[in-house]
Amino acid sequence: MLLTVTSRNVLLPDYDLPRPATINVDLRTGKIIEVRLRYTGDGACRESWAPGELHFVDARDKIVIPGLVDAHVHLEEPGNQDWEGFWTGTQAAAAGGVTTLIDMPVDSSPPTTTPRNLDIKRHSARGQCWVDVGFWGGAIPRNQAESGPLLSAGVRGFKCFLIDTGIEEFPCVSENDLHAHMSYLQNSVMIFHAEMQTASSPARHRLNPRSYQEFLSSRPKELEIDAITLITRLQAIYPSVSCHIAHLSAAAALPIIRAAKDCGSKLSVETCFHYLCLSAEDIPDGATEYKCTPPIREDSNRNLLWDALVDGTIDCVTSDHSPCLIEMKGLERGDFMEAWGGVSSLGLGLSLLWTEGRKRGISLGQIIRLMSIRNAELAGLSGTKGQLKVGHDGDLVIWDPEPEFKVSKEHLYFKNKLTPYEGMTLKGFVHKTFVRGRLAYDSALQDGFTGLQPSGELL
């Protein structure tokens, strides 16, 4: 049984621009078995159905792209499923063309810091996932002996914090903790929340908690610079450990990163949609939906991050989708110091990066490398995810780059519908999303999912 998708515009590996092609997916295995470099439609939009399954799609002039990979998502289940959950989070992903998520270990209860806790999370996820979901493990003080068992159980690598998390079950690690962890993690990945308070960090005094500028000054660029300096030093001591800097915000740290990469360091870096599409100057006082850590910085900083994407210093872009109950944002008080930190954007990322990127001459091929190929590489999935090629999973998206829409709550599939992007006009529209050849989202259906069943797998 085959799914055949044909279009005059298919984005294939090693191309920045789409070209005519036809893709065949074996629905028994979910794998791409053939890519033909020609369009095989008849000029009319033709679709054929079997019960619950779409077997032939003529996308005509719409663009077929590989399913996106988001390697930094907080799905927060079990324990905090009223914040987000596998069902709503993966629906939001599918509606935005994301076919693979890697869930962060923090914010669920219990966190993913032991094999038993991973089993609990997997049990919660089964039957709820509209896209494929993998898991990062957590590195906290004194759990380094869990590293090997967690890797054997299937985590893609480990995440740690260098600054207080405010979460009792997931404390930050010290430099001594990191030496213990990294000696265990040969040929694995360590992801760092790269902010670190040191004796040299500037002291800040709380004056007006509603002021965004004062919140920004409470998380200065020096916190990221000091953390990244430590990370590069540790990577030199443990060269077989791939070190990854999560959600880079401070462009002032880019020279340190470039120097480490020039020396051959196994160092990779991500930034996020909110650092590329939002600027501190535009954030009103009291607008706590914008709060995240590290914080959204000035427009001049944002431009330098875009330059670093283009020159390859920054490797990939993720959502860091980190929702909470709306009341935890304290919108009425507008207190940035007390509000929960995290920006919700799952499902909007492709439109965000396309809208902003095309103003800067960024091609669709570059966007797919940033949002799909390199995230797959980070998560150890480059052999199956992120590209439309034979042997890869049949994850593909039918997308139109031209339609504009104003972001409203009806475009948000995640659970707590609060985002700083509401009211923003974006370009690009996902028509259909396929996961392993199975239809996971269809904009023509009522709410995009009516009549479909979740078929995502746990990686």
Given a cut of 80, whether residue 285 has pLDDT beyond it is yes
State what percent of residues in the chain have pLDDT above 70: 96
How does pLDDT run across 27-49, given as a tens digit for each residue? 999 999 999 999 999 754 455 55
Closest CA to 133 of 219, 67, 45: 67
Q: Are 17 and 365 in contact (CB under 8 A)?
A: yes
Q: Whole-angstrom Cα distance, residue 440 to residue 347?
A: 13
Q: Which of 129-138, 195-204, 450-459 has the lowest mean pLDDT?
A: 195-204
pLDDT bucket at 203, cuts 50 / 70 / 90: low
Q: What is the mean pLDDT of the chain?
A: 95
**Cα angle for residues 118, 122, 127 (degrees, 5° grid):** 175
**pLDDT band of 14, cuts 50, 70, 90:** confident
Instruction: Return the pLDDT at 44.
Output: 47
Give the pLDDT confidence score for residue 52 in this predicted structure: 47
The dihedral formed by the CA atoms of 237, 242, 243 and 249, expressed in degrees to the nearest 10: 150
Q: What is the pLDDT of residues 359-368, one digit of tens each?
A: 999 999 999 9
pLDDT in tens, 392-422: 999 999 999 999 999 999 999 999 999 999 9
- pLDDT of the residue at 45: 46
Q: What does the radius of gyration of the chain's CA atoms come to, in whole angstroms?
A: 21
pLDDT surpasses 90 at 199: no
Q: What is the mean pLDDT of residues 425-438?
A: 97
Looking up tokens 């949609």 gives 273
Cα 394 from chain centroid? 20
Nearest by Cα to 319 from 348, 339, 282, 292: 348
Whether the per-residue pLDDT at 50 is higher than 60: the answer is: no
State the DSSP string of 46-83. Answer: -EEEETTEEEEEE-TTSEEEEPEEEEEE---TTT-TTT
- pLDDT tens digits along 213-263: 999 999 999 999 999 999 999 999 999 999 999 999 999 999 999 999 999
Element (H, E) at 147: helix 147-153
Q: Which of 401, 383, 162 is nearest to 293 (CA)?
A: 162
Q: Helices then strands (H, E): number in the chain?
A: 12, 18
Q: Residue 75 and residue 342: Cα distance in Å, rounded?
A: 12
Summarize pLDDT for 320-354 with one digit per residue, the tens.
Answer: 999 999 999 999 999 999 999 999 999 999 999 99
Asked whether the beta carbons of 135 and 104 are under 8 A apart, the reply is no
Average pLDDT, stretch 377-382? 98
